Amino acid sequence: MKTQTNHPQTFRAVPVHSKPLDSLRLENLLQQQLDLYKSRLLSSGLEYQLAVQNIPLGAHSTFQSFEPFPISVVSAKGAWVTDVDGRKMLDLSMGFGSMLAGHLNPEVVAELRSALDVGTLYTAPSPLSRDAAERLCRRFGIEQLRFTNSGTESTMYAVRTARAYTGKEGVVKVEGGYHGSGDAVLFSTKPSIENAGDAESPNVVVGNAAVPGEAYVVPFNNIQALEKVFSEHANTIACFIVEPVLENIGIVLPDEGYLEAVRALCDKYKIVLIFDEVKTGLTAGPQGASQRLGVIPDLIALAKSIGGGIPLAAFGGKAEFMKPVTDGRMPHLGTFNGHALAMAAVRAVDKICTKEALDNAESLNIQALNRISEIITEYELPAHTVGFGVKGCITWSPTPVRNYRDYKATNFLVAETSFLWSLNHQIMTPPGLDEQWLISLAHGQAEVDFMVNDFKELAKNLRG
């Protein structure tokens, strides 16, 4: 395996040799898997037909719906879910990190039951919410935070806080990055190349019905492009919001030195640096991505992994940059902020997500990445593996993906085939063709063996 210049706290293994896949064989395999999906998942198909009568696309998040119809789940326990067709499936999606503790983790369930004895919603300050805030500030190395209920709320309020702090409105983000569905960041998420313009200086491509305001977009891992935007527009730019490791387009790692250079530029041009750790958070390690990677932002957005499966999010950072919340320049509101069930989940997650527990999950992830890399090498597949913390993915490209344009050049036909193959073989991965998995605290050696052995069968079928 050839070592790349990705950040040393991240994982990437690119094979030395690869051969193209036979396109006709790939198309036939895709059709075979599609036919198998429709024939095996009759109850999910029926459930979808019923759901679309009252629910647009048959799901309560557009991302959860895909062709020909999504799998409908009835229960979950540990690392496994059961669908309406009665199939037990290995969950490698795990809510993008929301289920880091595992489904129905006993510690989480016990804390939630204790909350039911004292009330679920006070809409008032409480020792419970103060304790939870202390725990998260201590863990993530931040001075102040406010609770919200979703990642979208947290990124939205982080941007608003930066705008209030600086008195400026401009927002810079990375092409291909996703920061929730707030208007201020809903641009250039997965734009078509036809509309995206020059790779070094991308166009701002605004999503349907979004009104982002003053917006700028730059390629990831390109510090020169970022400085160009900063130097030309610093007098109107409030913040640069970025995932320290991109997890909307598979997993895209920062080059060694990139995040340090970003931090220096934000300091130089007096632009607030926001790390979106909604998807990284505890999946990156016991103190999150920023501390692991050694670059500290001014503000941070958290969600998913901190809540043990209960809707929970937060934004915070250095006390200096949270002043607009204190002095009223940026009112932060929310009836359910800091509700008792979420605070109970924080206590449970803080207890169980020890360094030892997360190190064990990460070691299983590294094992999976290495074993899958060996299969990629054995079958000379045009693919490579990428990982960070307890997350990993197979990227269908023989060369590293460092930005959105690299991602758009990957083989989506084989990605779709792999996605359907997994679903047909009792493995649930996220829709979106980004091949990302998560090893939770509930996954063990048997689950890793199951996923690796299944990938080997896919590799055999891809080559014939």
For residues 204 and 216, the answer to whether their CB atoms sit within 8 Å is yes
pLDDT of 341 > 90? The answer is yes
User: Mean pLDDT for the chain?
Assistant: 96
pLDDT tens for residues 38-95? 999 999 999 999 999 999 999 999 989 999 999 999 999 999 999 999 999 999 999 9
What gap in Å lies between CA 203 and CA 172, rounded to an integer?
12
Q: Fill in the amino acid letter for 344.
A: A
pLDDT of res. 432: 73
pLDDT of res. 63: 87
Q: CA of 275: how far to CAs of 39, 177, 207, 332, 431, in Å?
A: 44, 12, 22, 19, 24
Q: What is the mean pLDDT of residues 445-457?
A: 98
Phi, psi of 103 (to 5 degrees): -70, 130
SS3 content of the chain, % helix, strand, coil (to 5): 45, 15, 40
Q: What is the mean pLDDT of residues 346-369?
A: 98
pLDDT of res. 433: 77
pLDDT of res. 4: 55
Upper half-sphere CA count for residue 434 (Cβ side, 13 Å) = 25
pLDDT of res. 92: 97
In b/e form, how buried is each residue of 114-145, taking b as 16+ CB within 10 angstroms?
ebeeeeeeeeeebebbeebbebbbebbebebb
What gap in Å lies between CA 25 and CA 260, rounded to an integer?
45
pLDDT tens for residues 126-161? 999 999 999 999 999 999 999 999 999 999 999 999
pLDDT tens for residues 116-127? 999 999 999 999
**Which range among 2-16, 53-67, 165-179, 235-249 shows the weakest confidence by mean pLDDT?**
2-16
Upper half-sphere CA count for residue 420 (Cβ side, 13 Å) = 25
Of how many residues is the chain composed?
464
Question: How many degrees, rounded to 5, is the angle at CA 259 between CA 133 and CA 238?
Answer: 70
What gap in Å lies between CA 401 and CA 398, rounded to an integer?
9
pLDDT of res. 204: 97
Q: Give the three-class secondary structure for 254.
A: coil
Q: What is the mean pLDDT of residues 325-348?
A: 97
pLDDT of res. 435: 67
pLDDT of res. 431: 80
Query: Given the structure tokens 């977009």, which residue do they identify?
Result: 217
What gap in Å lies between CA 318 and CA 370, rounded to an integer?
38
pLDDT of res. 446: 98
pLDDT tens for residues 290-315? 999 999 999 999 999 999 999 999 99
Q: Give the three-class secondary structure for 139.
A: helix
pLDDT of 434 > 80? The answer is no
Q: How confident is the model at residue 215 (pLDDT cuts 50, 70, 90)?
A: very high
pLDDT of res. 230: 98
Here the contacts of 383-386 (C-beta below 8 Å, separation 24 or greater) are 383/15, 383/18, 383/414, 384/12, 384/13, 384/14, 384/15, 385/11, 385/12, 385/13, 386/10, 386/11, 386/12, 386/250, 386/251, 386/252, 386/253
Q: How confident is the model at residue 207 (pLDDT cuts 50, 70, 90)?
A: confident
- Residue 20 CB neighbour total at 10 angstroms: 11
What gap in Å lies between CA 25 and CA 379, rounded to an integer?
15
Q: Is the peptide bond before 15 cis (omega within 30 degrees of 0)?
A: no
What is the rounded (10 degree) CA torsion for 145, 146, 152, 156?
-80
Q: Fill in the amino acid letter for 23.
A: S
pTM of the model: 0.97
Q: How confident is the model at residue 1 (pLDDT cuts 50, 70, 90)?
A: very low
Nearest to 115 by CA among 99, 100, 103, 126: 126
Nearest to 309 by CA among 89, 109, 48, 165: 109
Tokens representing 142 are 């931040």
pLDDT of 3 > 70? The answer is no
pLDDT of res. 2: 41
Nearest to 133 by CA among 123, 149, 145: 145
pLDDT of 108 > 50? The answer is yes
The alpha carbons of the chain give a radius of gyration, in whole angstroms, of 22
For residues 383 and 398, the answer to whether their CB atoms sit within 8 Å is yes
Query: Given the structure tokens 């901190």, which residue do they identify?
Result: 306
Query: Given the structure tokens 């020792």, which residue do they identify?
Result: 127
What gap in Å lies between CA 394 and CA 13, rounded to an integer?
10
Phi, psi of 66 (to 5 degrees): -150, 165
Tokens representing 306 are 């901190």
Nearest to 168 by CA among 234, 73, 94: 234
pLDDT of res. 208: 86
